[in-house]
Amino acid sequence: MDKQRLVQTAQALVAEGKGILAADESSGTIKRRFDSINVESTEGSRRNYREMLFRTAGVNEFLSGVILFDETIRQDAADGTSMVKVLADQGIIPGIKVDKGTVPLPEAPDELVTEGLDGLRDRLKEYNDLGAGFTKWRAVIGISDETPTSYSLATNAHALARFAALSQEAGLVPIVEPEVLRDGDHDIDRCFEVTEETLREVFDQLAQQKVLLEGMLLKPSMVISGGSAGKRADPREVAERTIECFKRTLPASVPGIVFLSGGEPDDSVTANLNALNQQAAAANAPWEFSFSFGRSLQGAPLAAWAGKAENTEAAALAFYTRAKLTGAARKGAA
Ligand code: 13P
């Protein structure tokens, strides 16, 4: 394990004022996003859209890394430059989603497990050769009266740790993503309880599987009220409860937390991240609170782009605006 490389990359990904753009939507997910703006998802349209994001002038001031999908890490921009080079030339570290999505967990109604471990060691070698500096694996945990079960938490945590150990062996920083879904009308206490149980299980497995905590990043959800809860907790409470939950479960040696946006409205995502950074010092939170956002950075530029070349400039401006505001929230200055 190249500890020095792992630690350096992990720290660079959570550099001050910067975070990660998640542009690693699988073929199915990007098709759904494009359907919402009536654009056909083809290799060309996906390339044009993502190239617009990656070439947005000045965005590297706020982005340390971009997570790519397998197609994109092998793809060239319109002028023949590889997408990896487009990013690396701006000092942005390319990363890669390596899980293969979720399938139903046997004998566990409504619960999912993430696949993609078979052959992962060889795929990681190839991604390293293609220029990746980090990897991502997403596990999905839903909240209901019956779920999550300890069976699904154990199974997903085991896979996350297997992925993380293999990534570090290949010199790649793993972004460990146990996403607790916001769906449901549960209150913030219930989200706290599920997040606490999830993180305990994940860090137990990471320790058992010898993952170097200084050389990884955690990509969790914030502790929030369910998306359809009658009364939703405000940013101050979200930040307090999230920090309280992490203090119980996260070792201080993890350098940074790169939150997902999870389908929360943009303004609430920004306000919550801002509150977390405002409270961090007084609460003695030892971790960087950064971002690894997909929807919250891409919603506005996707709508502005609408698949038309003549909208490229407007879309880039919308992306820059969201990235700048998110970068400010990452410093508690939004
Ligand atoms: P969202 O920010 O849209 O939740 O996406 C982040 C991500 O990469 C999910 O795996």
- pLDDT by residue for the chain (334 residues), tens only, comes to 899 999 999 999 999 999 999 999 999 999 999 999 999 999 999 999 999 999 999 999 999 999 999 999 999 999 999 999 999 999 999 999 999 999 999 999 999 999 999 999 999 999 999 999 999 999 999 999 999 999 999 999 999 999 999 999 999 999 999 999 999 999 999 999 999 999 999 999 999 999 999 999 999 999 999 999 999 999 999 999 999 999 999 999 999 999 999 999 999 999 999 999 999 999 999 999 999 999 999 999 999 999 999 999 999 999 999 999 999 999 999 9
Per-residue confidence (pLDDT) for residue 226, from 0 to 100: 98
**Burial letters 285-323, b for 16+ CB under 10 A, else e:** bebbbbbbbbbbbbbbbbebbebeeebbeebbebbbebb
Positions annotated as catalytic residues are 177, 219
Ligand 1 centroid to Cα of residue 23, in Å, is: 8
Closest by CA position to 137, among listed 47, 53, 211, 36: 211
Per-residue confidence (pLDDT) for residue 205, from 0 to 100: 98
Per-residue confidence (pLDDT) for residue 25, from 0 to 100: 98
Q: Is 60 exposed, middle or buried (0-12, 13-18, 19+ CB in 10 A)?
A: middle
Q: Which residues line ligand 1 (CB under 6 A)?
A: 22, 138, 177, 260-262, 293-296
Per-residue confidence (pLDDT) for residue 233, from 0 to 100: 98
Q: What is the largest CA-CA distance in the chain?
A: 53
The answer to whether residues 245 and 199 touch, using CB atoms and an 8 Å cutoff, is yes
Element (H, E) at 175: strand 173-180
To test the pocket of ligand 1, the residue of 24, 293, 302, 326 to mutate (highest count of ligand atoms within 8 Å of its CB) is 293
To test the pocket of ligand 1, the residue of 99, 163, 261, 266 to mutate (highest count of ligand atoms within 8 Å of its CB) is 261
Query: Which residues lie across from 141 on neighbouring strands?
Result: 180
Per-residue confidence (pLDDT) for residue 14, from 0 to 100: 98
The answer to whether residues 210 and 171 touch, using CB atoms and an 8 Å cutoff, is no
- Domain residue spans of the chain: 3-330
Say how far apart CA 16 and CA 247 lie, in whole Å: 21
Closest by CA position to 194, among listed 243, 235, 153: 153
Per-residue confidence (pLDDT) for residue 152, from 0 to 100: 98
Per-residue confidence (pLDDT) for residue 77, from 0 to 100: 98
The runs of H, that is alpha helices, within the chain are 3-13, 27-35, 43-54, 70-73, 83-88, 120-130, 150-169, 188-208, 235-249, 266-280, 295-305, 312-329
- How many alpha carbons fall within 13 Å on the CB side of residue 274? 15
- Homologous superfamily (CATH) of 3-330 is Aldolase class I (3.20.20.70)
Q: Taking the CA atoms of the chain, what radius of gyration do you get in angstroms?
A: 19
